[in-house]
Amino acid sequence: MEKQKFKYSGISSLALHGAGEDFAQSSHLPPIYASSTFTFSNAHQGMQRFSGAEEGYIYSRWGNPTFTVAEDIIAALEVFQVKDENGDDLEVKAMLHASGMAAINNLFQSNLKAGDAILSHFSLYGGVHELMHKVLGQNNIQTIIADLRDLNIAEDVIRKNKNIKLVHLETPANPTIQCVDIEAITQLAKQHNILVSVDNTFATPYLQQPFKYGVNFVFHSTTKFLNGHGTAIGGVLLGKDLEKMNGPVKKTYRILGVNSNPFDAFLLTQGMKTLELRMERHCFNAMKVAEFLNTHSAILKVNYAGLMSHPDHKVAMKQMKHGGGMLSFEMKNGLKASIDFMNKLKMCVRTVSLGTAESILCHPASMTHAGTPKESREKYGITDGLIRMSVGLENAEDILNDLEQALK
Ligand SMILES: Cc1ncc(COP(=O)(O)O)c(C=O)c1O
């Protein structure tokens, strides 16, 4: 209990000690509550818990103490030193889901109905693009894609489409690393009573805290940098409207069965302990890789938010502490060159996903974005020659040596 009163000066202490309550049986680490259901001391208590009159766990599809530990840490990181409109510490609620896709599906399902529309930036994770266009589209929820880096375009689209109820931003975006001005778009959306959600997967709360700019929801695929070791799939949805989070969002969570599981939640709590340390090294190594690739003769273009040559560098540096651990680059000789390069890698790993301790590379056009139509892909800059790299924690020199030999 003393822990809750302690004022942390940085996010590492918070991630290590910020879970709040002491754990059962004086356990140092959070117990893995592998129980599908929770008992009531008498029938009256069961009644009280179901009616919501008494707080407490009921059934793990609805919530579980190991999820709560992870949820509380993520919520604390996302609002660390963030104030609300009255200057008080901002409070948000986090809900841990089975995957990033489950969390984003809950966000959409609990906030939108047939006839509504979402406005989003082009270049998004392929699965989210497919969810919007294929699944939501069938339910008469339209997605409008526009270049939201241009405020005039954003304003024009909003004025012309009165049914837009949510602006969804992925910044930095997968895999182009384009960045959208969260503050400017949120101000615009507010003038039109539109909700804003931000996918903070690439940045993490270490680099970027979207709640600072008044957004309504923050979302993560926890599979990535938050877990940090590639040991579990997961997603989290955070919201500052506590009534809504405890009302429709919780209701949809429970009905859809999008809950996490105790073991994955535990792995997440352990991974997050080193978030700050890892992110510092990810960013340091990524800058070295970006600088190396930027002058290499086989490379046409490097997309890294930390490079001054990146078109969104100014916006990125306004809302992010550093350039991040993610970058992409385009090979001069397109598909053949990119496949040859991928095949020659000796240390860096060929796989999808990102945010793991190891450097991993993928070919978005044939992998993560294979479900996005070629025409849209190319329009968004996801060309056949594009490689996405999640820069890991190895010694920078080894990463550079591996890339150099693979580019020969
Ligand atoms: C930016 C982003 N958002 C969402 C997702 C979906 O998350 P998950 O794979 O955990 O369902 C991903 C997955 O790659 C992603 O990169």
Average pLDDT over residues 108-126: 95
Q: Ligand 1: which residue has its CA nearest to atom 8?
A: 100
CA-235 nearest atom, ligand 1: 10
How would you label 149-187 residue by residue, b for 16+ Cβ within 10 Å and e otherwise?
beeeebeebbeeeeebbbbbbbbbbbbbbbbbbbebbbe
pLDDT at position 1 is 43
Ligand 1 contact, 226 CB (< 6 A): no
165: its two tokens: 């109820």
Task: Using pLDDT thresholds of 50, 70 and 90, give the confidence band for residue 263.
Answer: very high
pLDDT at position 4 is 60
pLDDT of 321 > 60? The answer is yes
Spatial separation of the C-alpha atoms in residues 112 and 133, rounded to whole Å: 14
Average pLDDT over residues 266-292: 98
Ligand 1 center from residue 207 Cα (angstroms): 18
* More confident: 3 or 24: 24
pLDDT at position 362 is 95
| H or E segment to which residue 387 belongs | strand 386-390
pLDDT of 379 > 90? The answer is no
pLDDT of 3 > 70? The answer is no
pLDDT at position 377 is 86
Ligand 1 contact, 126 CB (< 6 A): no
Q: Is 175 helix (H, G, I), strand (E, B) or coil?
A: coil
> Which distant-in-sequence residues (6+ apart) come within 8 Å of 9 by Cβ?
none
167: its two tokens: 């602006």
pLDDT of 22 > 90? The answer is no
Read off the pLDDT of residues 144-198 as tens digits, 9 standing for 90 and up: 999 999 999 999 999 999 999 999 999 999 999 999 999 999 999 999 999 999 9
Ligand 1 center from residue 321 Cα (angstroms): 22
Q: How far apart are the first and last CA of the chain?
A: 58
Spatial separation of the C-alpha atoms in residues 337 and 384, rounded to whole Å: 10
Strands laid side by side in the 299-303 sheet: 299-303, 326-331, 386-390, 360-362, 349-350
- For residues 302 and 262, the answer to whether their CB atoms sit within 8 Å is no
pTM for this prediction: 0.96
Task: Using pLDDT thresholds of 50, 70 and 90, give the confidence band for residue 268.
Answer: very high
Residues in a beta bridge with 389: 327, 361
Read off the pLDDT of residues 336-370 as tens digits, 9 standing for 90 and up: 999 999 999 999 999 999 999 999 999 999 888 88
Share of the chain above pLDDT 70, in %: 99
39: its two tokens: 């008992």
Ligand 1 contact, 200 CB (< 6 A): no
Q: Is the peptide bond before 262 cis (omega within 30 degrees of 0)?
A: no
Taking residue 398's Cβ as centre, other Cβ atoms within 10 Å add up to 15
Ligand 1 contact, 223 CB (< 6 A): yes
With 0-12 CB in 10 A as exposed, 13-18 as middle and 19+ as buried, what is 230?
Answer: buried
Ligand 1 contact, 176 CB (< 6 A): no
Ligand 1 center from residue 335 Cα (angstroms): 24
CA atoms within 13 Å, Cβ hemisphere of 386 = 23
DSSP secondary structure, 255-323, as one string: HHT-B--HHHHHHHHHHHTTHHHHHHHHHHHHHHHHHHHHT-TTEEEEE-TTSTTSTTHHHHHHH-SS-
Ligand 1 contact, 210 CB (< 6 A): no
Read off the pLDDT of residues 50-67 as tens digits, 9 standing for 90 and up: 999 999 999 999 999 999
Spatial separation of the C-alpha atoms in residues 347 and 137, rounded to whole Å: 42
**What's the mean pLDDT when you consider all of the chain?**
96
